[in-house]
Amino acid sequence: MNPRLNTNSKSENECYWCGEIATGTEHVPPQNLFPKGFRKELITVKSCKKHNEDLSKIDERMRINIIMLSHTSKVARKIFEEKILKGIQREQSAGLGISVASTILEKPEGGGYIKVNSQHLNVYIEKIVRGLYYHNFGNQLPGTIHHLWNNFNDLSLSANAHFYYFELEKKYTEQWINGNCKNKEIFDYKYHYCNKEKQFFVIMNLYETHRIIGISIPKGKNIEDYGVDIEKYIKQKS
Ligand SMILES: [Zn+2]
C-alpha cells in the first residue's frame, strides 16, 4: 500500500497519530519552540487529547533541554534568557528549576552535558515524525518510530545501526522532498517515503544546531534489522 496523497483526508476530524476523533490542534513541532516573529505558516494537525494535551509537560521539558543545547543559535539564546530563565526563577516553579539543574552535568574542562529522560525524548520525536507524515500524506503512519539525534548519544544503539543512519541521507540523494518551512532558523526538514522498504524518513533541523533523523520501521522489524554490515560495505566500495 502506498501512502495516500495529501488530498481531502486532512479535513476529516481525526487524530494524526491514532485516528480517534480529534479534540484539538497540535503544532508540529510544538509551538513553544517558535518565538514571536517566527510563527509564519506553522504546521498543524488535528489531535486527540491523549496525543496532544497529555504530552504537553514533555513538550515543555524538552523545550528547555533543546534550547539549553542550542547556545550557538541567537533565537534560542533569546528564548532562554527571556522565557526559560524567568520561568525557572518564578517561585511557583522552584521544583522545575531544581529538576532542570539536577540534569546538568559539568565537564571538568568546562561546558557540560544534559541528562535527558530517554522516554521523553522518544515520545517527543515520535510525535513530530508522525505529525509530519500526516501533514504530508493525510493518513496515520504505521509501524514504530526510531531516531538518531546528533546532540544526544544513544548508547543502546549498535555501531552498525549508527552507520545505517549516517548513510541514509546519501542513500536517497535526489529523492528527498524539501518541507519548505517558513521559519528555517527554528525548524526545517526534508522527507522521503521509500515504497520498497515501506519506510518514512525525515531529516530535521532545530535551531540550526540539532540534526535529527527520524525513521519509521514496519511491524515485526526493529532498528537492528537495518544495521549496515560495515565490513561488507567497505569491501563493496573498494
Ligand atoms: Zn490520538
Candidates 55, 64, 56, 51; CA nearest to 17 is 51
Domain annotation covers residue 138: yes
Is 218 or 72 the better-scoring residue by pLDDT? 218
CA of 157 to the centre of ligand 1 (A): 28
pLDDT at 84: 80
pLDDT digits (tens, 9 = 90+) for 123-180: 999 999 999 999 999 999 999 999 999 888 788 888 889 999 999 999 999 999 999 9
CA of 140 to the centre of ligand 1 (A): 10
Q: Which domain holds residue 179?
A: 120-237
- Grid cell listed for 232: 561488507
Report angle CA 48, 52, 55 to the nearest 5 degrees.
Answer: 135
pLDDT at 42: 97
CA of 137 to the centre of ligand 1 (A): 17
Domain count, the chain: 1
Report the C-alpha gap between 125 and 147 in whole angstroms.
7
CA of 2 to the centre of ligand 1 (A): 22
Beta bridge partners of 28: 43
> Residue 184 is which amino acid?
K
CA of 18 to the centre of ligand 1 (A): 4
118-137 and 56-68 helices cross at what angle (nearest 10)?
A: 100
Domain annotation covers residue 76: no
pLDDT at 1: 46
Report the C-alpha gap between 43 and 204 in whole angstroms.
14
Report the C-alpha gap between 104 and 10 in whole angstroms.
41
Domain annotation covers residue 135: yes
Distance of CA 129 to the CA centre of its chain: 6
Domain annotation covers residue 158: yes
pLDDT digits (tens, 9 = 90+) for 1-55: 456 555 444 457 999 999 999 999 999 999 999 999 999 999 999 999 999 888 9
Taking CA atoms, 231 is separated from 159, 222, 226, in Å, by 12, 21, 15
pLDDT tier at 230 (50, 70, 90 boundaries)? low
pLDDT exceeds cutoff 70 at 229 = no
CA of 21 to the centre of ligand 1 (A): 8
pLDDT digits (tens, 9 = 90+) for 86-134: 777 776 666 766 677 677 777 777 666 777 888 899 999 999 999 999 9
Domain annotation covers residue 174: yes
Is 233 or 155 the better-scoring residue by pLDDT? 155
pLDDT at 185: 94
Domain annotation covers residue 211: yes
Domain annotation covers residue 231: yes
Give the DSSP per-residue string, 153-171. --TTS-HHHHHHHHHHHHH
- Grid cell listed for 151: 546532540
Domain annotation covers residue 164: yes
pLDDT at 176: 98
- Grid cell listed for 205: 533541523
CA of 172 to the centre of ligand 1 (A): 31
CA of 217 to the centre of ligand 1 (A): 19
pLDDT digits (tens, 9 = 90+) for 195-212: 999 999 999 999 999 999
pTM for the predicted model, two decimal places: 0.87
CA of 48 to the centre of ligand 1 (A): 4
3-state helix, strand, coil in the chain (%, to 5): 40, 20, 40
CA of 81 to the centre of ligand 1 (A): 34
